[in-house]
Amino acid sequence: MLRINCPFCGIRDEEEFDCGGEAHVTRPENPANLSDDEWSHYLFNKVNTKGILLERWRHTYGCRQWFNMARHTVSHEIIEIYPMGSFPSFNGMNVENVVKEVEA
């Protein structure tokens, strides 16, 4: 079980949280203008990387606030928790490539 440090409440057990999927996925401005393949890509094609993944999390059974988390998908190590609308700042990784992978 993960122990997650909610930026609003402090450290709590994982069972109080829900994962909202990948972070930094932008909804297309005009979905009606997309082809079925483009819309399908937006809805269903996710990175599912073996390594560091940027995810959205919600403290569902606490403050109900959303935040972002950089987490290693194999070790489950939480690299960083950071606010919605911002990007991670951790050192030692090429953050731009991680974000590009998520946005691709």
Residues that bind Zn ion in the complex, under the rule CB under 5 A: 6, 8-9, 59, 62-63
Cβ 72 to Zn ion shortest distance, Å: 22
Choice between 49 and 65, CB closer to Zn ion: 65
Tell me how far, at minimum, the Cβ of 65 lies from Zn ion, in Å: 6
Closer residue to Zn ion in complex, CB, 25/63? 63
- DSSP per-residue letters across 33-89: GS-HHHHHHHHH-----SSEEEEEEE-TTTT--EEEEEEETTT--EEEEE-TTS---
Question: Which one, 15 or 38, has the nearer CB to Zn ion?
Answer: 15
d(CA 50, CA 20): 18
The residue with tokens 């930094």 is: 24
CB of 2 to Zn ion, least distance (A): 14
